[in-house]
Structures are given as structure tokens and as C-alpha cells.
A and B are shown apart, each in its own frame.
Chain A
Amino acid sequence: MMCHDEPTLLLYVDRELPEAERQAIGSHLGQCARCRALVAALEIEDRVLQGVLNDPWWSTTVPVTEVGAAAAVPLTRTRLVGALTGVVLSLALVRFLVESVGEIGMPTELAWLSPFRSEGLMNWLSSVVVYGAFQADVAASAAASAGRAALLVTAGLAVVMVMGRAAWRTGVVALMFVSALLAAAPSEAIEVRRSDASVTVPADQTVDDTLVAFGEITVIEGTINGDLIAAGRVVRVLGTVKGNVFAFAQTIEIEGAVEGGIFGFGQNVTTRGHATGSLYAFGQSVMVPASGRIDGNVTTFSQSAAIDGQVGRDVTAFGQRLDVQGTVERRVTSYGERVTLLGSARVGGGLTAHVGSRENVRIEPGATLAGTPDIHIREAAPSPYMTVSYYVRLLARMAAAFLTGWLLFWLVPAATAITLDTGPKLVRVVGAGALGAVATPILAVAVGITLVGLPIAIAVFFLWMVVLYLAKIVLAVVVGRALLGSHEHRGRQALLGLAVGLVALLLVVSLPYVGTLANVLFTVTGFGLIVIEVWRWYRAWPKRAGVPA
């Protein structure tokens, strides 16, 4: 008679076989020494396991591992290849979707907000800087109501945390948030006007408080006694704004008088009128035509900046080119490719130019300039791959990422157990990542525009950047584990996996051309992993905290 395989013998040892089969095996064992030995071994095995499971160790020791880690599925190379293929395909799909949505769904006036476009990205970065650095006074005036809103939300969250019941928790949080915002908004006497077509303040009208306007076209012909905050495709100020102007639009034209500062975020920012404060402009092209007068500083972040009018203090330009034709009372500073002082230019405080070559600084005959121009030539950048500093920076980035990952493991041990699935789960991960990475900053601006939400917006932005940074580290953990073929999630193994994963990802990201795409891809996937993990943690949460003792 033929010998039996191990699973069958295991069933025999565990007394899980029907009587007839049991007897047949019993008689076979009488004749077969090999099977007899195997059965004996399996019986010993059961006894050892019984002994181990009844060991008092189980009641005395601290947890060996997170449950999530134990449930995690190890990732093999085949799965990894499958996963990466999936990521590429899904990303292509996401990209396609985003682009087609950009074509049909996304309002054209908001297209410049898209972080998928370079000027969009530039706008995002500059917004962060401006919000952080220059808007402190506005933030202070909003702090009272925003503080109340934040307090309400926090209190609501605290209540929900204590009560903790999954079904209605989400609803309550959302409700609290909305009601807090609604409750806080009118307390600052802000007037909000919203229209699909245009928002207009006619010449004979005066708005006593801050006006927040959303419209395809916003035209201010009358007077606004507070600030103007406007978003849309076109924002034009023909009348008077006694406070500051914050404009987010494709085209921003200031032709009237602004008694505060101007903060313009848009493709084209043109100031023909008179601003008592300073102008901060972010956009493709920034112009102060001959009729324009800025009493304060002009700071531009733009591809091209043209100053034909008068500037009371300094001009600082970041961007490709700066042309000065008008009058600047103090210093002109440029960080860019090309600076031109045209014939009629008059600069009271000298010129500092950071450019690529001396020929790119042109001072036409007739231009008046105090002192000699201070020209700093940037070293022509050789191929980054040929410089030592590139590799030093690469190493530094590696080390920083590794330390951050270590810290992450220490703070959140479950992070070592994050796994990447193939198939529909992966699509979910990438989808969540793309959504989170793109939607979060848009949400932040949407909240930030309402003024009361400004601190919230800054916090959200900060969190977003943190998650963006962590995204690749988390992905590196997964990749590292797969490359090592390791099933262990803890201790030195996890750190080794992290190191291997980071090296692998950094190598791919550093490749010319493909690297950028890979970078986006990795970031989105890692972002998704974090989002899903946090979501799962949040879902499992009433079981950890909400049960009465």
C-alpha cells in the first residue's frame, strides 16, 4: 500500500478522519516504518505545541508584535512586480482622469490651482510663504473667531473621542466642523458674495467690512472699507479698497486705489493704480505700468516682472527676467536670469543682481543708477551627476530619511507592518494617495480663503507636507521588505529593510527623466498607504478606547 502524505497523517493524528480511513491508515502504520516515524513526530509536535501554548509566558510578557503586523501578508518579488505594474497602470489612469477632468470638469478659472502644472505648483509654494510670512496681521484679526472655531472643533472631537461610537462619529465630526465654521464666519462681519458669473460693487456702493467675493469676474468700482478677498478668473479693482487686497485669479488688475497692501496670486498681476502698502505678486507675469504707484516694496515671484511705474521702496524679484523702466526709490535686487534697466529707469539705491552671466545685466544709456551694480555670477551648473556635492546631498537625504523612518518605527511600531497589496486594494491605495496629495492643498486654500479658517489651512498645509515627506519612507519600508524577501517586521530587520528600500527608491528617483515620474508615482503610493493606514486605525479605534471598564 502507498504511503500517505503529511496532511493526511496530520488529520489522522488530530483524529479528524472518518473511521474507515482511520483504520486503513492504522493498518498501514503497522507495516510502514517511515509513516510510523512521521506520525510519532507529529504527535510529539502536538504535545510540544500544547506545552508552549500553556506556558505561563503568555500571561506575563508584553506584546511581541502588533496584531496588525501578525495579520500582514508578506510581499514576494512576484507580488512586488505585479504591484509596481499596477501602480504604473493606475497612475496612468489617474493622470488621464485628472487631465480629462481638468478639460471638462474643473472650472477654467481654477485651472491655475492645479499642482500638476508648474505654475500651479509655483503658486502653491508661494502661497505657503506668503501665508506664513506676510499675513500675520490678517491672521491676528481673524484669530478671535478662528480660535473660537478651533476650540469648538477640538471640544467636539474630544466629546466624540470619549463617547466613541463608529456609526455616528464621522457625522458628528463633520457637523461640528461645519457649524463651527458657520458660527465663526459672520462674527467678523465679513460680507460674502458668490456668483457664477460676476460679482460687482458699483461705483456708488460702499462695503463697510471685508468683502469676500467668488465669481468668474469680480469688479470693484465702489469703495470697500475692509479688506478685499477675491477669487475667480478675473479680479479688477477700479474703485478704492481701504484695507488689503488678496486676489486669487488668472488675471488681476488693480487700477484704483488700495490703501493697504496687495497680495496677488495669478497668471498676470497688473497694478496700474496706487497702492499705499506693498505689492507681493506671484504669477507668470507681473507688471507695474507707467501709471502705477506702489509706496511700499514690490516683491515678485514670477517668470517676468516689468516695473514701469514708481516704487517707493525696494524691488525684489525672483524669476526669469526683470525689466525696470520706471522709478525705484531704493534698491533693486534680482534673483533670476536677466535684468534690464531701460533708458528711462531711475534707481535710487543701487542694483544687486544674481545672474548666470554678466551679459545678462543690461543697463541702457540714460538709465540712472546710484553706485556701481553689484553683480553676482552664479556658477554654471555642471551635470549634477558629476559633482561631489550632489552625492553628498543624496547621502544626507538618505540619512535624514533613514532617521525619520527610525523615528517613525519608534513612535508608530505598526508602521513596520504596512503592506502593499495587489489588485483592487492597490488601486484604492493609489486613488487615496492621488486624492489626498492633490485635494488636501486645494481644501487648505478653500478653507484659507474664508479667512476664519486660515490657521486651520496652515495646519492642514503643514500636515500635508509632513505626509508628503513620509510617503516615500513608508513605501521604502514595503519595498525593502520585499527586496530582502523578509517576513520579519521588527527590530534590526525592519531597519535593514528601510535602508535597502530607501536606497532602491532614491536610485530610481535619481535617474534622469524617468526619476521625476517615478518620484510622483512613489509619493502618491506612499501617501495612499499612509491615508489608508490612518483610516484603518481610526476605524479600529472604538474597540481600543470606547469600551467601559
Chain B
Amino acid sequence: MEPDPFPELFQQHRAQVLALCRRLLGSADSAEDATQDVFVRARQGHSRFDGSRPFANWVLSIASHHCVDLLRRRATESRLFGSEDVERAAVAVDGPSPLRALMAEELREGLRGALATLPARYRVPLVLAVYRDLSYQEIATTLGVTRSHVAVLICRAKQLLRLHLSRAEAAGRHQ
């Protein structure tokens, strides 16, 4: 019988999975638990793993699905990602332009905090797009929403971050 490759794969990819879970969940505590769960799920479903493709991609996609499931279960509204129309209406309202807020790189620290506290419905697609570098279509499949809905959510996520930064900046000026 050949040795179980799982413990080694687990060790190799643990940090990557944990990092993704942290960014998706925004909370270090549950990210640890989620990482455990991801490997439990991976082990249960290892027969579906296509050996010709990188293990990392496979396990990270399990991680994305798992975190979305987790957030969905904890969401206060039945639809974690809200309604596309509502979000679209919110996007249409003028927010701060990207020109201003992002000039200030020193606001990076504030941006991290803002990202971590951004509602999950905006943070998750943004993390998947920017950090995981997935296409909108891939994100749409992971979240179980339409591609256009993903586009709106990402747009809204950026708007909210800008809003947060411009407020933080204004507060800084006041002091």
C-alpha cells in the first residue's frame, strides 16, 4: 500500500489555505477552524481530485466554497450576496472618486482594517478577484450568483472602501 500523501500535502498548503480563509472570513479565529474543515472536506473528496492539475488550486477552491458556505450559514439575511438590483442602485449613487482616496498610500493601515470589516458580501468577491486572481465567471460559480452580480458587488466593495478612507481622512484632518 502506498503511503498516505495527505499529511504532507496538508503541511505544504496549510499556510496558503489559512491565508485565504483569513481574508475571506475576516476573522483569524474562525479561519483556523475553517482551515481544518477544508482539509477534512478535501480528504473526503480526494477521489474527485484531478492529479494532473495543481493541488493548491483544488484545495483553495474548496476553501473558497467552504468559507462562502460558512458565511452563508451565519448571514443575517437569507441571501448572503443580496440582490443585484439593490446593489446596482447603490453603485449608481455617486461615491468618492478613486482619484482622490487612493493617492494616500499611508492610509494602507486603515484600508486593511476597512477590508477586514467590510461586509462579507463585498469582501468575499473582492478577495477572490484581487487576492486569488479569479475571473468574474469563476467567482460567480463559487458564490452561486450571476457574473453581472459579481461585477456589481466588486464595484460596490471598492466604493465602500473609498468611502471609508475618505471618512478616515476627514476625521484625521479634524484632529
User: Do A and B interact with each other, yes or no?
Assistant: yes
Among the 9-residue stretches B1-9, B21-29, B53-61, the one with 4 or more Cβ atoms under 8 Å from chain A is: B21-29
Instruction: Give the docked Cα–Cα distance between A42 and B123 (Å).
Output: 17
B98: which A residues are within 8 A, CB to CB?
6, 38, 41-42, 44-45
A71: which B residues are within 8 A, CB to CB?
71, 74-76, 80, 119-121
- Which B residues from 84 to 134 make CB contacts under 8 A with A? 91, 97-99, 102, 105, 108, 111-113, 115-121, 123, 126-127, 129-131
A544 pairs with B33, CB closer than 8 A: yes
B116 pairs with A64, CB closer than 8 A: yes
A145-156 interface mask toward B, CB cutoff 8 Å, 1 = contact, 0 = none?
Answer: 000000000000
- A58-B23 contact in complex given A50-B130, A543-B70, C-beta closer than 8 Å: yes
Nearest-neighbour CB distance to chain A for B24, whole angstroms, equals 10
Name the contact of A66 in the complex, choosing from B22, B27, B97 (C-beta under 8 A): B27
B28 pairs with A7, CB closer than 8 A: no
- A64-B113 contact in complex given A50-B131, A51-B108, A70-B123, C-beta closer than 8 Å: yes
A27 within 8 A of B: no
B151 within 8 A of A: yes
B27 pairs with A67, CB closer than 8 A: yes
Name the contact of A46 in the complex, choosing from B23, B36, B123, B130 (C-beta under 8 A): B130
B119 pairs with A52, CB closer than 8 A: no
B131-142 interface mask toward A, CB cutoff 8 Å, 1 = contact, 0 = none?
Answer: 100011000000
Majority secondary structure of chain A interface residues (helix, strand, loop or mixed): helix
- A41-B70 contact in complex given A58-B22, A547-B33, C-beta closer than 8 Å: no
Instruction: Give the docked Cα–Cα distance between A365 and B90 (Å).
Output: 84
A536: which B residues are within 8 A, CB to CB?
74
* CB-based nearest A residue for B118: A70
Interface contact tally, CB-CB below 8 A: 139
Instruction: Give the docked Cα–Cα distance between A549 and B14 (Å).
Output: 13
Nearest-neighbour CB distance to chain B for A69, whole angstroms, equals 8
A65: which B residues are within 8 A, CB to CB?
26-27, 116-117
A161: which B residues are within 8 A, CB to CB?
none
Number of interface residues of A (CB under 8 A): 49
- Which A residues from 63 to 80 make CB contacts under 8 A with B? 63-73
Name the contact of B76 in the complex, choosing from A51, A61, A62, A73 (C-beta under 8 A): A73
- Which A residues from 377 to 417 make CB contacts under 8 A with B? none
Nearest-neighbour CB distance to chain A for B175, whole angstroms, equals 15
B143 within 8 A of A: no
B115 pairs with A62, CB closer than 8 A: no
Nearest-neighbour CB distance to chain A for B113, whole angstroms, equals 6
Instruction: Give the docked Cα–Cα distance between A40 and B71 (Å).
Output: 34
* CB-based nearest A residue for B111: A52
A539: which B residues are within 8 A, CB to CB?
73
Nearest-neighbour CB distance to chain B for A286, whole angstroms, equals 50
- A543-B25 contact in complex given A10-B151, A14-B129, C-beta closer than 8 Å: no
Instruction: Give the docked Cα–Cα distance between A37 and B99 (Å).
Output: 8
B70: which A residues are within 8 A, CB to CB?
67, 543
Instruction: Give the docked Cα–Cα distance between A543 and B40 (Å).
Output: 12
B50 within 8 A of A: no
A49 within 8 A of B: yes
Instruction: Give the docked Cα–Cα distance between A50 and B130 (Å).
Output: 6
A1-15 interface mask toward B, CB cutoff 8 Å, 1 = contact, 0 = none?
Answer: 000001100110010
A51: which B residues are within 8 A, CB to CB?
108
A16 pairs with B36, CB closer than 8 A: no
Instruction: Give the docked Cα–Cα distance between A547 and B37 (Å).
Output: 7
Instruction: Give the docked Cα–Cα distance between A540 and B97 (Å).
Output: 39
B91 pairs with A7, CB closer than 8 A: yes
B33: which A residues are within 8 A, CB to CB?
543-544, 547
A167 within 8 A of B: no
- A57-B112 contact in complex given A65-B117, A67-B30, A421-B76, C-beta closer than 8 Å: yes
B126 pairs with A49, CB closer than 8 A: yes
B15: which A residues are within 8 A, CB to CB?
59
B14-46 interface mask toward A, CB cutoff 8 Å, 1 = contact, 0 = none?
Answer: 010011001101111110010011001000000
Instruction: Give the docked Cα–Cα distance between A6 and B33 (Å).
Output: 38
B65: which A residues are within 8 A, CB to CB?
none
A46: which B residues are within 8 A, CB to CB?
130
B158 within 8 A of A: yes
- Which A residues from 27 to 43 make CB contacts under 8 A with B? 37-38, 41-42
A selection of 16 A-B contacts at a CB cut-off of 8 Å is A7-B91, A41-B102, A45-B98, A45-B158, A48-B102, A49-B115, A50-B131, A52-B112, A55-B112, A57-B112, A63-B26, A71-B120, A490-B117, A543-B73, A544-B30, A549-B36
- The list of the 7 closest CB pairs from A to B, nearest first, reads A63-B27, A41-B98, A64-B116, A53-B131, A71-B120, A41-B99, A63-B28
